[in-house]
Amino acid sequence: MTTESPSSAGSLGDLLPKEAVAAKVEVEDWRAAVVAAGDLLVETGSTTPAYTDQMLAALDKYGPYIVIAPGFALAHAQASDDVLSTGMSFISLSEPVEFGHDTNDPVQLVAGLASKDHDAHMAALQQLAMFLSTADTMEQLQQAATAEELCAVLGLGDSGSSAD
């Protein structure tokens, strides 16, 4: 029995490649926002396009349960064969969109999560929760104009240089 260990594949940096980060994505509605996050999961090899359809179907069935913090949605669906490897994506939207959540709308930041099991992604989610619990960090994420700026705020990559 082989599983991904949280120490080797559970940190935010391990599960969220720079290629899965996009800034100021233009979308018309919450569906397009989820599709944009799902497309990055597909492009980085974490899922098939069918997983994005499953994320949308879950929202249709359960409502905006993925809007877990003010301005932030965690797009995901149940583990399935359409998850090729545990991974994440992260986008900021050029303009916030309504998901229909009573208290946490509108949403400007969307993370996509694809998990092969319930344990492999827990450390990454804990790190992400720390970012989201700080108003200053949330503002930095919302204001980031480029994917590189988002990556810097999220602590992704090994570059110590700054381009201000």
* Average pLDDT of the residues of the chain: 86
CA dist 30 → 95, 98, 101, 123 (Å): 11, 6, 11, 27
Instruction: Tell me the backbone φ, ψ of residue 68, rounded to 5 degrees.
Output: -100, -5
Top-confidence residue, 69 or 133: 69
Kindly give, in sequence order, each residue whose CB lies less than 8 Å from that of residue 105, ignoring residues fewer than 6 positions away.
64, 67, 96, 98, 99
Angle at 128 (CA atoms; ends 126, 132), nearest 5 degrees: 115
- Is 109 exposed, middle or buried (CB count within 10 Å of its CB: 0-12, 13-18, 19+)? buried
Kindly give, in sequence order, each residue whose CB lies less than 8 Å from that of residue 160, ignoring residues fewer than 6 positions away.
none
* Per-residue confidence (pLDDT) for residue 92, from 0 to 100: 97
* Per-residue confidence (pLDDT) for residue 158, from 0 to 100: 53
**Does 74 have pLDDT greater than 90?**
yes
**Does 61 have pLDDT greater than 60?**
yes
